[in-house]
């Protein structure tokens, strides 16, 4: 055979491999409203940058008639490419080949690119569209992927895009990743399907109701970001990656077009109400201080009483954890604690400085919270803050009472580098209403008009004790500033912390209260 003939043979095999399960199956994928495995890679990576690996791999199973069903690639496309010029490794399950089911060969291809990503130090992008483990040969194969997910954790960012079904044991690979993306009407994740649930419990439920994007973004908290279309999902992936380093040894990238570091933000004063009991939207403050007012929120629909996401300050990536006074007064609860703890630990693992914007009355009271383990869940946030060694700044925007001083890392005793307060801040061991009831109990009881006396004493306590100056006198506060100075002040403080180094005792790892 001549070289020309050999070259033509290669081209023919490449063309065959790119057909996946065949043209008929590719057409069916499009009829479902979904892109193919290769189309997804082309959309998420820079045009023309994808370099495929192990294109001609096939399974080697001969039992159960499997020798008659062999396809190049074995249901997954793997390789490397660039995203905004940055190298990433990617795998994309191909639903057109046996429903994207996982067998030994497919698992081997996925773990190969994961191993390469860990060695090279670049992010892993996984695109899931699979019916699960292949009955004929899938037993235990997911374990090899879970193991790589765990090895990669804290070394390189891991993104998982659920763009089809993901059921049974397969759900644990996404769950071990840093960020899970889902698409409305397309993504499905659940341990046991509707048929199994009906057989065991008698309950009837659809796959969408059980594990769709809405459920996992609003109720379970499994999903971090939800898109209306696959293309919107790819755009989310690209934007999120722009805030992150490629690995734990690098700093996050800084764009050249950063905003004016001296810009004042008078709009912050307009957001904060005069009344300490009135609600407002903390996101307006976050956007006001961010470079170009750009805030990328993570888990926006889960545990809305706490806000997590990324901004830039003078070009530097910052992870923001903020109370949301418009939801449950910004109180901490079980879900908010879990959401914050995971985000804090991610930021600390990847050298992203942390900003706390605080307006918190404390922990949400109630039997449901206590029985659900708010002590254990709240301890996760405390552990995450105390463990974090990246630069950390806390801002008391309005109120902070009691145990929330540590729960929102206001106290420098939990490792916060700088704590500043706006002139609008209230800081006390408990709220003025509760404190007045205790401190002035006798005066209120003996007054001719107890209600009027109580109002008077609450105002008196608020004026004399629940203000930033008392806390500053005791050394809790590093600075008190006008709200309009917030952005410039933060940029200055984080600038001081750029060379921060913090040594901790050597150990295997801590025992976080999971």
d(CA 386, CA 413): 9
d(CA 368, CA 347): 30
The residues annotated as belonging to the active site are 168-169, 403-404
d(CA 378, CA 405): 13
- Sign, CA dihedral 364-408-397-267, equals negative
Work out whether strand 306-313 and strand 316-323 pair parallel, antiparallel, or are unpaired.
Answer: antiparallel
d(CA 23, CA 37): 13
Half-sphere exposure of 336 (CA within 13 A, CB side): 25
| Prediction pTM value | 0.93
Go through the domains of the chain in sequence order and give each one's CATH number: 53-242 (3.90.226.10), 267-430+467-496 (3.90.226.10), 432-465 (no CATH)
> Phi then psi for 125, rounded to 5 degrees?
-115, 115
d(CA 104, CA 139): 9
Work out whether strand 353-360 and strand 225-227 pair parallel, antiparallel, or are unpaired.
Answer: unpaired
Taking the CB of residue 284, how many other CB atoms lie within 10 A of it? 15
d(CA 118, CA 123): 8
Which residue is associated with the tokens 């952005």? 487
Our CA dihedral for 92, 95, 99, 103, rounded to 10 degrees, sits at: -20
Residue 358 contacts residue 477 (beta carbons within 8 Å): no
From first to last of its 514 residues, the chain has per-residue pLDDT tens of: 899 989 999 999 999 999 988 999 999 999 999 999 999 999 999 999 999 999 999 876 656 666 667 888 889 999 999 999 999 999 999 999 988 889 889 999 999 999 999 999 999 999 999 988 887 766 688 999 999 999 999 999 999 999 999 998 899 999 999 999 999 999 999 998 898 898 898 899 999 999 999 999 999 999 999 999 999 999 999 999 999 999 999 999 999 888 999 999 999 999 999 887 899 999 999 999 999 999 999 999 999 999 999 999 999 999 999 999 999 999 999 999 999 999 999 999 999 999 999 999 899 999 999 999 999 999 999 999 999 999 999 999 999 987 788 899 998 899 999 999 999 998 876 666 666 666 666 677 767 777 777 777 677 677 666 688 888 888 889 999 999 999 999 999 999 999 999 888 899 989 999 9
d(CA 271, CA 283): 10
């Amino acid at each position: 055979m001549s070289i020309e003939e050999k070259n033509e043979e290669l081209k023919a095999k490449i063309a065959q491999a790119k057909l996946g399960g065949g043209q008929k199956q590719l057409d069916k994928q499009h009829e479902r409203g979904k892109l193919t495995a290769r189309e997804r890679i082309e959309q998420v990576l820079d045009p023309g940058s994808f370099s495929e690996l192990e294109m001609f791999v096939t399974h080697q199973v001969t039992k159960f008639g499997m020798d008659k069903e062999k396809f190049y690639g074995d249901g997954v496309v793997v390789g490397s490419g660039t995203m905004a010029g940055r190298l990433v490794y990617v795998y994309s399950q191909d639903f057109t080949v046996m429903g994207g089911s996982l067998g030994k060969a497919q698992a081997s291809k996925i773990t190969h690119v994961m191993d390469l990503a860990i060695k090279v130090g670049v992010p892993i992008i996984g695109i899931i569209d699979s019916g699960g483990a292949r009955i004929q040969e899938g037993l235990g194969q997911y374990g090899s992927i879970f193991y790589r997910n765990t090895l990669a954790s804290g070394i390189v960012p891991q993104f998982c895009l659920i763009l089809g079904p993901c059921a049974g044991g397969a759900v644990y690979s996404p769950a071990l990743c840093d960020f899970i993306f889902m698409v409305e009407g397309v993504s499905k994740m659940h341990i046991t399907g509707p048929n199994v649930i009906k057989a065991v419990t008698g309950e009837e439920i659809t796959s969408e109701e059980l594990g769709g994007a809405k459920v996992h973004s609003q109720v379970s908290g499994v999903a971090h970001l939800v898109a209306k279309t696959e293309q919107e999902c790819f755009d989310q992936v690209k934007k999120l990656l722009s805030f992150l380093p490629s690995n734990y040894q690098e700093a996050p990238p800084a764009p050249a077009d950063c905003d004016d570091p001296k810009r004042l933000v008078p709009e912050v004063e307009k957001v904060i109400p005069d009344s300490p009991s009135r609600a407002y939207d903390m996101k307006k403050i976050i956007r006001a201080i961010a470079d170009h007012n750009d805030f990328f929120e993570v888990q926006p629909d889960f545990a809305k009483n706490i806000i997590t996401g990324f901004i830039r300050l003078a070009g530097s990536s910052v992870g923001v954890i903020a109370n949301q006074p418009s939801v449950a007064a910004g109180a901490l609860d079980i879900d908010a604690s879990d959401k914050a703890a995971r985000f804090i630990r991610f930021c600390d693992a990847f050298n992203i400085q942390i900003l706390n914007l605080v307006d918190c009355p404390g922990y949400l009271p109630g039997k449901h919270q206590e029985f659900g383990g708010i002590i254990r869940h709240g301890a996760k946030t405390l552990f995450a803050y105390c463990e974090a060694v990246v630069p950390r700044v806390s801002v008391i925007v309005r109120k902070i009472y009691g145990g929330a001083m540590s729960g929102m890392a206001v106290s420098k005793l939990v490792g916060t580098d700088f704590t500043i307060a706006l002139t609008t801040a209230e800081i006390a061991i408990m709220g003025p209403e509760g404190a007045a009831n205790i401190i002035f109990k006798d005066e209120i009881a003996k007054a001719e008009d107890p209600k009027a006396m109580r109002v008077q004493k609450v105002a008196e306590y608020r004026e004399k004790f629940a203000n930033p100056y008392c806390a500053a006198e005791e050394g809790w506060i590093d600075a008190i500033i006008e709200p309009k100075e917030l952005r410039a002040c933060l940029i200055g403080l984080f600038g001081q912390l750029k060379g921060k180094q913090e040594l901790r005792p050597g150990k295997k790892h801590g025992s976080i209260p999971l």
